Amino acid sequence: MNGLSKLLSLAALAWGFAAPALAQTPITIGYQLPLTGTQSQYGEVFRNSAVMQLEKLNAAGGVGGRKVEILFEDSKSDPKEAVAIARKFVDDKRIIAVLGDFASGPSMAAGEVYGKEGMAQLSQTASHPDFLKVSNWQFRNITTQAQEGPFNARWMHGAGIKTVAVIGLQNDWGLSATGEFAKEFEKLGGKVVATELFNPGTRDFRAILTKVSQRKPEAVYLAMFYEEGALMLQQARQLSLAARIHSASPFYAPKLVELAGPAANGVFISSTFVAESTAPNVKAFVEEYKKRYGSEPNQFAAQAFDAVGIMFEAIKRAGPNATRAQMRDALAATADYPGVTGTTTFDKQSREPAKVLSRMEIQAGKFVVLR
């Protein structure tokens, strides 16, 4: 055997050992989410859905013969923690893309790091209009408040409502949600008679509700999540608030009805996810989630399920040995992803997802789609 033949034989032998080793090395994705703190209930359902998608993918052989793993890190939904995790993820050369965070504030803070270092970030719930403006490395599969707020404003205006009061969270998301709704409602000729904001963690809303009631609005628009929402509804009922109540997709949660009880009846909600849908993929998701976790999935669980699915499809397009830049381009190419929250396509210029919202009402403790 001559020298060249020996070299080729050694190279083939080396590849013979390297190929199985590579196949055994997992493809790694990072996921930052709140697993402790006041918003841990959201991180819990995100992780539940991610595990469902992960086990399904790996049971089918992974991607290119390689398993996929997700590294979960607890951000506590805190911007400082989110930035620390982002730095940890970008320094970990195994990680090719990341999911999360939950709230827009931590998502955008972490996004500054991901944008600077070149790591694709897909958030299931960062709906602040400016999230995708952080850099070209950010993606989301949720409607923004620039979409959902005007949708609800048009719905309410179309129902003949001329005066509203707006109550929302005093944070980036809440300011965006209340502002986008109010702007569209006033553009349509309606009048916002009161705007009240409260700090996260507030539990007594009676003073706010009393002030709102004194302005006699025909309807109230609530921009908050279901925990505060349940308390708000109970206290509104106790104070005999006469106004019709509307809210957005964060209210689509069985826990809202459980916590608020009869006070939830008659509330109108917009949502991209409908657990009662007869679509085969939605039915399969709801049944499997209930079987695993003993509860019906809410909007947040559905958003995470689709986000992880979109990420896995991007890995398949980019290939098992994808670079971070290739993952960014593969995510950008997402089109017609058949999710449980509807079909998702990222706009070629803005990267915004095209989504369809449904109108719902809580009737006798059930979420009912309005036709």
pLDDT-above-70 percentage for the chain: 94
Q: Kindly report, residue by residue over 5-37, the tens digit of the pLDDT.
A: 554 444 444 445 544 555 679 999 999 999 999
Dist. CA 126–CA 139, nearest whole Å: 9
Q: Do domains 9-142+280-344 and 145-271 have the same CATH topology?
A: yes
Cα–Cα nearest to 87, from 314, 98, 26: 98
Fold of the domain spanning 9-142+280-344: Rossmann fold (3.40.50)
Q: Above 90 in pLDDT, residue 280?
A: yes
pTM of the predicted structure, to 2 decimals: 0.88
pLDDT for res 18 = 46
Task: Give ∠ CA 41-43-47 in degrees, rounded to 5.
Answer: 120
31 bridge partner residues: 72, 99
Identify the burial level of 44 via C-beta atoms within 10 angstroms of its C-beta, where 0-12 means exposed, 13-18 middle and 19 or more buried. Answer: middle
Arithmetic mean of pLDDT over the chain: 93
Structural element, H or E, at residue 71: strand 68-74
Domain 145-271 has CATH 3.40.50.720: no
Dist. CA 79–CA 105, nearest whole Å: 6
**In a 3-state reduction of DSSP, which class is residue 102?**
coil
Dig out the tokens for 101 from the structure: 């965070």
Q: Above 90 in pLDDT, residue 282?
A: yes
Dist. CA 260–CA 48, nearest whole Å: 24
Q: Kindly report, residue by residue over 131-174, the tens digit of the pLDDT.
A: 999 999 999 999 999 999 999 999 999 999 999 999 999 998 99
Confidence of residue 371 (pLDDT cuts 50, 70, 90): confident
Confidence of residue 3 (pLDDT cuts 50, 70, 90): low
Q: Above 90 in pLDDT, residue 365?
A: yes
pLDDT for res 24 = 78
Cα separation values, 343 from 177, 209, 224, 323, Å: 23, 38, 26, 26
pLDDT-above-90 percentage for the chain: 89
Output b/e per residue, 193-204; b: 16+ Cβ within 10 A: bbebbbebeeee
Q: Are 308 and 53 in contact (CB under 8 A)?
A: yes
Q: Are 138 and 100 in contact (CB under 8 A)?
A: no
Rounded to whole angstroms, the maximal C-alpha distance in the chain is 96
Confidence of residue 198 (pLDDT cuts 50, 70, 90): very high
Q: Above 60 in pLDDT, residue 42?
A: yes
Q: Kindly report the length of the chain.
A: 371
pLDDT for res 16 = 52
Q: Kindly report, residue by residue over 109-134, the tens digit of the pLDDT.
A: 999 999 999 999 999 999 988 999 99
Domain residue limits, the chain: 9-142+280-344, 145-271
